[in-house]
């Protein structure tokens, strides 16, 4: 009977991926936004703009996709903004509070809000 050796690297990589607030890819077709209860996919073909705002040690990135605005709030989000400039962000998600200190060196997304623009008739 053949057995597969269990390596700690795979478990560690999997755990680290769960602690990462965003991931990048070479040519993603859409931005995957994971909130606590839903997963949203926003095609980059509808991406209009992004704005990074700073208030003390808190950052906010507003990403506009046609009539929907995605707002990610946290700390150290400049690298995320740089990746958005290359349309290279594949996924964003909130980092659990208890793991914020571990993911601190890459930035932490503490909150994600999705707003639909009101249509006036």
The DSSP code sequence of 40-84 is: EEEEGGGEEEEEEEEETTEEEEEEEETTEEEEEEEE--HHHHHHH
Record the pTM: 0.77
Beta carbons of 31 and 90 less than 8 angstroms apart: yes
pLDDT in tens, 16-72: 444 578 999 999 999 999 998 999 999 999 999 999 999 998 999 999 999 999 999
Residue 66 contacts residue 45 (beta carbons within 8 Å): no
CA distance 38 to 56: 30
CA–CA gap between residue 73 and residue 52 (Å, rounded): 10
CA 33 – CA 48 distance, rounded (Å): 16
Give 61-108 pLDDT, tens digit per residue: 999 999 999 999 999 999 999 999 999 999 999 986 655 555 545 689
């Amino acid at each position: 009977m053949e057995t597969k050796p269990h390596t700690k690297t795979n478990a560690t990589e999997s755990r680290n991926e769960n602690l990462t607030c965003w991931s990048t890819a070479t040519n993603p077709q859409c931005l995957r936004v994971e909130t606590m209860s839903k997963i949203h996919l926003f095609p980059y073909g509808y991406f209009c703009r992004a704005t990074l705002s700073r208030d003390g040690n808190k950052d906010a990135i507003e990403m506009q996709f046609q009539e929907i605005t995605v707002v990610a709030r946290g700390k150290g989000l400049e690298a995320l903004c740089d990746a958005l400039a290359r349309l290279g962000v594949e996924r964003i998600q909130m980092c659990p509070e208890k793991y914020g200190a571990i993911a601190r060196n890459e930035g932490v997304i503490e909150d994600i809000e999705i707003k639909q623009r009101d249509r006036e008739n």
